[in-house]
Structure 1
Amino acid sequence: MNFIPGWVRNYQKAWLSGDIVAGVIVTVMLIPQSLAYALLTGLPPEVGLYASILPIIAYAMLGSSMTLAVGPVAVASLMTASALQPLAAAGSPDYVALAMLLSLLSGGMLLLFGGLRLGFLAHFLSHPVISGFISGSAVLIAVGQVKHLLGVKAGGNDVFDTVVQLIHAAPGTNLVTLGIGAGSVLFLMLARKSLSPWLVRLGASPRLADIASKLAPMLAVMVSTALVAAMRWDQTAGVSIVGTVPQGLPQLGLPAVSMASVGSLWLPALLISLVGFVESVSVAQSLALKRQQRIQPNRELLGLGAANLASALSGGFPVTGGFARSVVNFAAGANTPLAGVISAVLMGVVIAALTGLFHYLPHAVLAATIIVAVVSLIDVETLRDAWHYDKADAMALLATAGGVIAFGVEVGILMGVALSLGTLVWRSSHPHIAVVGRVPGTEHFRNVTRHTVNTEPGLIAVRVDESLYFANSDALLDRVEELVAAQPDTRHVLLVCSAINQIDTTALGVLTDLERSLAQRGAALLLSEVKGPVLDRLQGTELGQRLEGRIFLSTHAAFEYARQAGSMVGRYGDPAAAI
């Protein structure tokens, strides 16, 4: 087995300049984000920097995306904080150790899923559920960061409690901190919306202008840090700053593992793994399509698993692929994961020699960076589209978002998944059942309520648009009985099976009972367009034997059989002769 990644074996010299430029640009963007997400997680600032070195290199060795930028992200950071806050004091050594253990568990689960080739798990969380989860998390994150903008102490168990505490704490707002924070929010929002068009008007290329607008957070960090240092606002105005950030590369080592900690963290680790995987794959796939590349979900599981194990090994917390950084990485010209490796090396240089530059960085600016980043994640468009197209999906989105806001991240996503699965089960247990007839002059058969069709006297043709199983077989039985009761002269009931992919044991019993019941009333059950795997399983069953000669390749053939049998009834007056 060749352990050297394909992109390394096939590397081309022409790709190097793009990878170097992208690596430098992503590093500039990653520094404030790493510090900000450490703040969001409740960890010391250096931990965010630690989580931005080895995880990137580990993903580059195993992941399948050429441009996905792995590292700390807002939603995973929120989920980490939610899991750890009940277990230890934020920022304490125990808290840091638990964050490492959470990353270790998440990485182990992802590697296990990758080894078992469970990449299809990406489809278990629907887009509306993910959208609702991210939107609710964005609200939760933004509200939780307002205290840093105001320079007050406030916190709560949920959004509503936090808002109440913020209102009570508002009279103690630090005006200098508010000025720094509000100014940073305004600058970052203007940069996000207007900086790129403004630079284009000045003559910059659209690509360069777009990248420059993404780097606005670093400019806010530099300017605010310089102002606080020059004016000594940390001492004269009480502005909260990052303070001393330990210099030096992280020490490698695994966290202490106890069964009690594992018991408390396995479910958050599973949710972080699933959400992070789905988010990463969606980002990676959208970028890969632009270059006619392909993403391998099972490789992504391995890459993200290795990244999280590397994060745990180097004192970090759970990481995943970030949308904004990946887009910047792509736009900056990254050709391979070497761009990420370069970014990791540069982050190592920052940690080893430049952490002193962050001493006077105000927490308010980091909070502003987080707020502006997450507000853009609130997905109103998906809610609007889902509401117009499928209100069940819209309700799943709202339930997930509302659950996150009211009860926290774990309860919220479980509510969304439960509602989505419940909707799926309800829909499959209430299948669409259509009475069909022949479109005049053709061999096509359509719903009698939607099209002008011809029907055969004495024949009821029913198409069920769902596989038959224990939850919906009675619905089919009830519908057929209702139709037969309304047409006492029925001689044949045809079940069009074109949409039936499976018939389980319960449904088989129901169909067998239906066939017997019809036979006792002088009518016959017919089947048409039965798929090969379904037909294979029917053979050898009592139903298959009783239906011998009455299973047809096409609905047209079944109609012809019923028409000819009907003419025999008319000729001889004996229904049995037609059956």
Structure 2
Amino acid sequence: MTNNPFNHHSPRLLLGGILPLQRPQLAADVVAGITLAALAIPEVMGYTRISQTPVVTGLYTMLLPMLAFAVLGASRHLVVAADSATAAILAATLAGVAHPGSTAYVGLTTLVAVMVGVLLVLAAVLRLGFLADFLSRSALIGLLSGIGLQVAAGEFGGLFALPKQGSGALQQVLSVLPRLGETRTDHLLVSVAVLALIVGCRRYPRVPGALIAVVGAIAVSGLFDLPARGLPVVGTVPGGLPQLGLPPLAGVPWNQVLITAASCFVVILAQSAATSRAYAQRYQERCDENVNLVGLASANLVAGLSGSFVVNGSPTKTEMVDEAGGRSQIAHLSAALVVLLVLLVFTGPLALLPAAVLSAIVFLIGVKLVDLEGLRELWQLQRNEFLIALATAITVAQVGVLQGIVLAVVLSLIEQVRHTYRPRTRLWCPNGEGTAWQTLPVGPGRFAAPGIVAYRFEANLFYANANRFTEEVLAVVNQPDGPVRGLIVDASGIDDIDYSAGKSLQELAGELASRGVRTALVTASSTMVKELRSFGIGASANSVGTFPSLKKALHALEQALEPSSSPC
């Protein structure tokens, strides 16, 4: 990791992403901010194609929301602005209650941003930053990949000047094929040129391919008067500062607004936390997620009040700043100033921008979101989690983002319960030389000492796995390779026991006593000892006691038993 002079400072409640200043770094931060603006302005304009809102609302997300997070957030690195994931959620969940792009629809998107801000405020007050952990990294890979497929498929027809048809990603792609004869040649040529330019510039990360494409396309559009030739363009983009005001509240479909806000809230928690933690670890910094929630809440509140839509911590924009040398929110303040300049001076030329340019940019955004590397790594390392990611991606792409989020959370929790329900269990046994201990899978003939088995359970005991614990212990004691007269239960991997598991342990202790099997417990936790004894475990006449180590438990049990001839 890179050493950093800001290391080990406690997170601040104000200006945590800016202070303390390091003067030699200021110039690099300013340059990084200008680079961010050059790369991200075309991107956020593209996100408005996803969210189905006016182009200027994308620029608004890089003004007041970015300033708000810079002042109130804790992360020095996280860039908060428009994001493809939350933009896709807006379109997927609000399009059914208002016509996309209409005044009513835009009003709903601003109201959702305000509601997301309220939810984030509540999460910060209640210190619920830990909720981000309930969407696993594998589920997040699947979620973002599914959104990428959905976004790319939805814009595939736009590359050919064809309207989107179909409700799922696969249907949307297939619907284009029989309509290729309706393609506008000039529109397709612009799309192909923009795709080639942006992809070619990726070999040089600091070259703003999207910005070059936007500026070049505007110049060509004006020079050859492409709007007069019938080529679709963005049209008038309002200039000046955004107008502040409350979203309209009359006739609001609150049920849909709250569902949309809750969906965005979950994604923001998971994605922003994962990104801010990654960069805090990279630079050995502390980053309080609950303070970040305050920054994210303020960013979304001002987004809604300034006529924009939901903002989120963006991994791609954060990486843009980091690659450009930015190390604090000064870079983001610089980017906001560039956006302000664009709003005040350069919105006029944006009206000439061909729609094909935004279609190409959005298509590439979607393709980039499909995390093939993450999916490949999951396939190699954790097949079960790969299946979770794949199922989530397919659900998002074919059914919807909301359904994908629900499935991702449910599958993540099921996978965790599965690990706890069927944890790893082992038997302690001396190694071949008898000089050290080793753990082996549970099976017959594996003794810690003649007539004694040592069983280790590596998870908390609760109602769902208590029966498995009991059955496996009885199977170990009842093995055919020799009489088992002593049992050591290594409980050092158990941190908690619920009521159902405690009662099962009581019944197990009675069964072992009836078979004449003496027992000993291993745990170094005084809390666990107290909890076990509250159920009458570890202090009965059949037990020789509780010990902090396997060696001590084995010694005590050997003294309490007659020697036997069973080998290890």
Alignment TM-score, normalising by the size of structure 1: 0.89
**1:203-222 Cα distance to aligned partner (Å, 9 max, x none):** xxxxxxx322xx11011011
CA distance, structure 2, for counterparts of residue 21 and residue 11 of structure 1:
16
CA distance, structure 2, for counterparts of residue 311 and residue 448 of structure 1:
56
- Give structure 2 stretches of 5+ with no counterpart: 1-11
Q: Provide the residue aligned with 1:233 in structure 2.
A: 226
- Give structure 1 stretches of 5+ with no counterpart: 197-209, 571-579
Q: Provide the residue aligned with 1:535 in structure 2.
A: 529
Contact 1:73–1:321, Cα closer than 8 Å, also in 2: yes
CA distance, structure 1, for counterparts of residue 520 and residue 274 of structure 2:
45
Deviation at 1:519, TM superposition (A): 1.4
Mapping for residues 217-232 of structure 1, pairs under 5 Å: 217-232=210-225
Equivalent of 2:209, from 185, 210, 216?
A: 216
Q: Provide the residue aligned with 1:459 in structure 2.
A: 452
Contact 1:119–1:298, Cα closer than 8 Å, also in 2: yes
1:524 has 2:518 as partner:
yes
Distance 1:4-1:323 versus aligned 2 partners, 3 A rule: closer
Distance 1:482-1:6 versus aligned 2 partners, 3 A rule: closer
Contact 2:29–2:328, Cα closer than 8 Å, also in 1: yes
Q: Provide the residue aligned with 2:5 in structure 1.
A: none
Q: Provide the residue aligned with 2:101 in structure 1.
A: 91
1:551 has 2:546 as partner:
yes
| Partner SS, residue 79 of structure 1 | helix
Q: How many residues align?
A: 552
Mapping for residues 111-126 of structure 1, pairs under 5 Å: 111-126=121-136
Equivalent of 1:322, from 307, 314, 319?
A: 314
Distance 1:3-1:323 versus aligned 2 partners, 3 A rule: closer
Q: Provide the residue aligned with 1:267 in structure 2.
A: 259
Q: Provide the residue aligned with 2:269 in structure 1.
A: 277
Deviation at 1:76, TM superposition (A): 1.6
Mapping for residues 49-448 of structure 1, pairs under 5 Å: 49-192=59-202, 194=203, 196=204, 210-212=205-207, 215-236=208-229, 238-257=230-249, 261-439=253-431, 440-442=433-435, 444-447=437-440
Distance 1:143-1:540 versus aligned 2 partners, 3 A rule: closer
Mapping for residues 506-521 of structure 1, pairs under 5 Å: 506-521=500-515
Deviation at 1:14, TM superposition (A): 3.2
Distance 1:169-1:287 versus aligned 2 partners, 3 A rule: same
| Partner SS, residue 403 of structure 2 | helix
1:16 has 2:26 as partner:
yes
Distance 1:37-1:8 versus aligned 2 partners, 3 A rule: closer
1:500 has 2:500 as partner:
no
Contact 2:18–2:329, Cα closer than 8 Å, also in 1: no
CA distance, structure 2, for counterparts of residue 544 and residue 74 of structure 1:
56
Contact 1:500–1:530, Cα closer than 8 Å, also in 2: no
Deviation at 1:292, TM superposition (A): 3.2
* Larger helix fraction of residues: 1
Deviation at 1:452, TM superposition (A): 11
CA distance, structure 2, for counterparts of residue 155 and residue 66 of structure 1:
42
The one-letter amino acid paired with 1:486 is: Q
| Partner SS, residue 415 of structure 1 | helix
Deviation at 1:50, TM superposition (A): 1.7
Q: Provide the residue aligned with 2:474 in structure 1.
A: 481
Q: Provide the residue aligned with 1:576 in structure 2.
A: none
Deviation at 1:143, TM superposition (A): 1.0
- Once the two structures are overlaid, the 10-residue window that deviates more, 109-118 or 332-341, is 332-341
Distance 1:74-1:262 versus aligned 2 partners, 3 A rule: same
CA distance, structure 2, for counterparts of residue 179 and residue 170 of structure 1:
14
Distance 1:373-1:568 versus aligned 2 partners, 3 A rule: closer
The one-letter amino acid paired with 1:512 is: Q
Contact 1:138–1:374, Cα closer than 8 Å, also in 2: yes
| Partner SS, residue 455 of structure 2 | strand
CA distance, structure 2, for counterparts of residue 315 and residue 130 of structure 1:
29
Deviation at 1:35, TM superposition (A): 1.5
| Partner SS, residue 494 of structure 1 | strand
**1:340-370 Cα distance to aligned partner (Å, 9 max, x none):** 2232233123222321110110111111112
Distance 1:289-1:529 versus aligned 2 partners, 3 A rule: closer
Contact 1:492–1:523, Cα closer than 8 Å, also in 2: yes
Deviation at 1:479, TM superposition (A): 1.1
Deviation at 1:79, TM superposition (A): 1.4
**1:144-191 Cα distance to aligned partner (Å, 9 max, x none):** 112221112222221133123322332211110000001111111111
CA distance, structure 1, for counterparts of residue 284 and residue 517 of structure 2:
57
Distance 1:280-1:4 versus aligned 2 partners, 3 A rule: closer
Contact 1:51–1:319, Cα closer than 8 Å, also in 2: yes
Deviation at 1:329, TM superposition (A): 1.9
| Partner SS, residue 446 of structure 1 | strand
**1:409-433 Cα distance to aligned partner (Å, 9 max, x none):** 1111221221221122122112222
| Partner SS, residue 246 of structure 2 | coil
| Partner SS, residue 469 of structure 2 | helix
Distance 1:486-1:52 versus aligned 2 partners, 3 A rule: same
| Partner SS, residue 347 of structure 1 | helix
CA distance, structure 1, for counterparts of residue 196 and residue 453 of structure 2:
68
1:560 has 2:560 as partner:
no
CA distance, structure 1, for counterparts of residue 530 and residue 128 of structure 2:
28
Distance 1:485-1:3 versus aligned 2 partners, 3 A rule: closer
Alignment TM-score, normalising by the size of structure 2: 0.91
CA distance, structure 1, for counterparts of residue 18 and residue 199 of structure 2:
39
- Once the two structures are overlaid, the 10-residue window that deviates more, 178-187 or 410-419, is 410-419
Deviation at 1:73, TM superposition (A): 1.6
Deviation at 1:489, TM superposition (A): 3.0
| Partner SS, residue 461 of structure 1 | strand
CA distance, structure 2, for counterparts of residue 398 and residue 42 of structure 1:
27
| Partner SS, residue 487 of structure 2 | strand
CA distance, structure 2, for counterparts of residue 241 and residue 65 of structure 1:
38
Deviation at 1:7, TM superposition (A): 5.7
Percentage of matched positions with identical amino acids? 29
CA distance, structure 1, for counterparts of residue 325 and residue 479 of structure 2:
69
Q: Provide the residue aligned with 1:573 in structure 2.
A: none
Deviation at 1:88, TM superposition (A): 0.4
CA distance, structure 2, for counterparts of residue 101 and residue 330 of structure 1:
32
**1:483-520 Cα distance to aligned partner (Å, 9 max, x none):** 33334733222211121111111111111001111212
Distance 1:111-1:475 versus aligned 2 partners, 3 A rule: same
| Partner SS, residue 546 of structure 1 | coil
CA distance, structure 2, for counterparts of residue 7 and residue 529 of structure 1:
43
Contact 2:488–2:519, Cα closer than 8 Å, also in 1: yes
The one-letter amino acid paired with 2:407 is: M
Q: Provide the residue aligned with 1:203 in structure 2.
A: none
- Once the two structures are overlaid, the 10-residue window that deviates more, 333-342 or 177-186, is 333-342
Deviation at 1:111, TM superposition (A): 1.8
The one-letter amino acid paired with 1:221 is: V
Contact 2:33–2:331, Cα closer than 8 Å, also in 1: yes
Deviation at 1:320, TM superposition (A): 1.2
Distance 1:419-1:471 versus aligned 2 partners, 3 A rule: same
Equivalent of 2:461, from 463, 468, 493?
A: 468
Distance 1:527-1:242 versus aligned 2 partners, 3 A rule: same
- Once the two structures are overlaid, the 10-residue window that deviates more, 227-236 or 52-61, is 227-236
- Once the two structures are overlaid, the 10-residue window that deviates more, 446-455 or 349-358, is 446-455
